[in-house]
Structure 1
Amino acid sequence: MLRAAILGGTALVLAGTGHAGQALPVQQSENEEAMSQHPYIGMWVTDDGHVRQELLENGRYDEARGTRQSAYQGRYEVSGNEIRYWDDTGFTADGTFVDADTLHHGGMVFRRR
């Protein structure tokens, strides 16, 4: 069985098996390759530590709020100093990196950790 997804308009093979159960390699999209080298990848945290957002190399994010792990998950893309989010539940958001260690998003200020 072959599973695929569309990421940034590019088809992406996620995983699967071929004939006789052979494993198929995972292929990266152009966006994933670009994101794996992006300087903003990593953990971003509000000053009070309540909201923690990890920007992953594969163009996905995982956001925790308080004691609720993975409160929000989805994909993201960065263009210049702007970030755009597409949450798995359907809403979108954006933010701005004001410098290498500060992200403004959703009325909050995040710092790199």
Structure 2
Amino acid sequence: MSDTGEKKPASHPYVGLWVTKDRSVRHELLPDNRYVEARGNRERAYLGRYEVTGTHIEYWDDTGFTADGDFRDDILYHGGMVLHRER
């Protein structure tokens, strides 16, 4: 957050929607460093914040769960899943 209380926008190129090949898992990385994860028919299955350092992403779910992943060649590898950017 900035000194004025405003959230700083994400400063990385990964903002947007990332999906598994079958679209059963969808991660939307928002510009305010928040994310929404959809699973199957549950559009807001998980909500939380994230931080990207280089090509590594750390997730903190609002319930306290943590996870991480890595971006390689415009693919997100996260928790045994492979997610591709949705254009």
TM-score, reference length from structure 1: 0.71
Q: How many residues are treated as equivalent by the alignment?
A: 86
Quote the RMSD (CA, aligned, Å): 1.6
5+ unaligned residues in a row in structure 1: which ranges? 1-6, 14-26
> In the alignment, does 2:52 pair up with 1:48?
no
Separation of aligned partners in 2, 1:12 and 1:91: 29
Supply the AA of the counterpart residue of 1:93. A
Q: Which has the higher contact order (CA 8 A, sep 6+)?
A: 2
Instruction: Give 1:98 deviation, angstroms.
Output: 1.1
Q: Quote the offset at 1:11 in angstroms.
A: 7.0
Identity %: 58
- Give the letter aligned to residue 43 of structure 1: L
Query: CA offsets per residue over residues 72-111 of structure 1, 9 Å max, x none?
Result: 0100000011000000000100000012x20000100000
**Residues 13-52 of structure 1: matches in 2 within 5 Å?**
13=5, 27-28=6-7, 32-33=8-9, 35=10, 37-52=11-26
Q: Which has the higher helix share?
A: 1
Q: Distance in 1 between matches of 2:54 and 2:67?
A: 16
Indicate the residue corresponding to 1:107 in structure 2.
80
**Is 1:97 the counterpart of 2:67 in the alignment?**
no
Larger radius of gyration: 1
Normalised by the length of structure 2, the TM-score is 0.90
By how many angstroms is 1:12 displaced? Answer: 7.0
Corresponding residue to 1:63 among 28, 33, 37: 37
Shift of 1:53: 0.5
Structure 2 unmatched runs, 5+: none
**Shift >6 Å, 4+ stretches:** none
